[in-house]
Structure 1
């Protein structure tokens, strides 16, 4: 009896066709601050709609601080930063909320929906420190990192399905081994490095925003030093979605003179 081939090329070819279709269907985006070009997995309108939905869900499950000096500070910083965002912020309906939480965090959803947790205020220490955080998060939204992650994940998913279909004649343990190796390669070789690159780009764009808004850029360096000092035990940088705090503040020190030249300070 003729033995069936363990590897099938049909699913791989179909995956390649699907990848090509996904590639040409996607739109391109060039970051106006860094000049980096990328491809996106969704339109800006789709991003904005998802951002609004996510913002409403977060606020419905959180204790929103309605008034007080911290709220006024967060609004002030947001306004100064938003005022210097260029064409990359077109179509955004900017909103900002302060949420009562011990979590040291903040984020900006697509479409300009900013959430700051009270837990990050002691680490920020001052207005420029807060501008560091908020500028970084705004930069994720204006750089369209969410849509880019959708594109990257979509490409990986298509490739994985192609591989899975091509090895279906292997026994289950062999399939798991092959898919595990390829999945780890995609995670550590594609997705995590892209995530770290997004963080570094958001650092650069956020620094540009805060400097253009008139904040002292050295406070950005000091903020990440404080984050490094209070940070919990973190995984090695290669296995993390974020670069190390030390990497960030050293890179920011290098970027400050370049951005000064760019904005004419």
Structure 2
């Protein structure tokens, strides 16, 4: 069919973007500058603080302590950023890290991550997103997908292809379920792997990451089918962590021998 030719042309144009590799060796497309992303991170962090009250005292000191221990083992480029940490008063069990050096943890997460090692698995995971430039990759992929769809739509309309509206609708569904959602799941799995390495290198017990997801599983509700979700299922995440546990435990033992023994209360 001729419209398939136009789709191929659009895909070729998208593929010409600059590519690089993630910390795990996965190919990725990055179109945005790190300076722009840092500015976006600062803006998002400011907006989050306007939306939710922040907690201080022992809770902030605890989260800051865990974050500091992980940041201490990052590569110099990331380690030397002025990392800012906030604890937000929210029952939602959530945490995030943003480009530019921003970490946020909700108080609801502290009810599920019951010790420093479990909290380190979450913070390591979130910082893993930053190290792997996932925000850049997500924005770049979305931009490239929209560009490719625009090229195809223009070509279809200009050549009077019958049923072009239906074709574009089908392509839109294909982009969502075939590109954007699986792409998000690959980010989560990669951040799990990087976070496991980070927490182990910082001296936190990586086995706590498995305990955390069992806690999540016990407190969380039903999940949508994995192919329709931006996150892997809990069982899939646990399997991925188990697959990388031997290497993480070796790193953990090396960290302990080197004197890295976190004590965050």
Question: Using the alignment, how far apart are the partners of 1:30 and 1:189 within structure 2?
Answer: 21
Structure 1 position 153 matched with structure 2 position 145: no
Matched residue, 1:137: 126
Task: For residue 92 of structure 1, report the CA deviation from its aligned partner.
Answer: 3.2
State the match for 2:66 in structure 1: 77
RMSD: 2.4
Q: Is the 8 A contact 1:19 1:155 kept in 2?
A: yes
Q: What's the CA shift for 1:19?
A: 2.5
* More deviation, 45-54/82-91: 82-91
Q: Which 4+ stretches in 1 moved above 6 angstroms?
A: 8-12
Which residue in the other structure is 1:19 paired with? 14
Please state whether the residue corresponding to 1:92 is helix, strand or coil: coil
- Tell me if the contact between 1:106 and 1:137 (Cα under 8 Å) persists in the aligned partners: yes
Structure 1 residues 245 and 157 mapped into 2: Cα distance closer, same or farther (>3 Å)? same
Gaps of 5+ in 1: 1-5
User: What is the distance in 1 between the residues matched to 2:4 and 2:111?
Assistant: 58
How far residue 178 of structure 1 moved from its aligned partner, in angstroms, is: 0.8
* 1:173-232 alpha-carbon deviations (Å, 9 max, x no partner): x33321121111111211111110100010011111111111111110010111112222
**Number of matched residues?**
252
Contact 2:142 2:180 in 1 (8 A): yes
Partners of 2:96 and 2:217 in 1: how far apart?
19
Say whether the 8 Å CA contact 1:9–1:166 is kept in structure 2: no
Counterparts of 1:122 and 1:131, CA distance in 2: 14
1:93 to 62, 71, 82: 82
Provide structure 2 residue ranges, at least 5 long, that are not aligned to the other structure. Answer: 255-265
| Contact 2:185/2:230, CA 8 A, preserved across alignment | yes
C-alpha displacement of 1:68: 1.9
Matched residue of 1:107: which SS?
A: strand
Matches within 5 A, 1:157-172: 157-168=146-157, 169-170=160-161
SS in structure 2 of the partner of residue 185 of structure 1: helix
Question: Structure 1-normalised TM-score?
Answer: 0.86
Q: Distance in 1 between matches of 2:251 and 2:199?
A: 13
Which secondary structure does the structure 1 equivalent of 2:42 belong to?
Answer: helix
Question: Structure 1 97/206 Cα, relative in aligned 2: closer, same or farther at 3 Å?
Answer: same
Give the drift of 1:12.
7.0
**Normalising by structure 2, what TM-score?**
0.86
Asked if 1:200 is matched to 2:189, the reply is yes
1:28 matched to 2:20? The reply is: yes
Q: Which residue of 2 aligns with 1:41?
A: 31
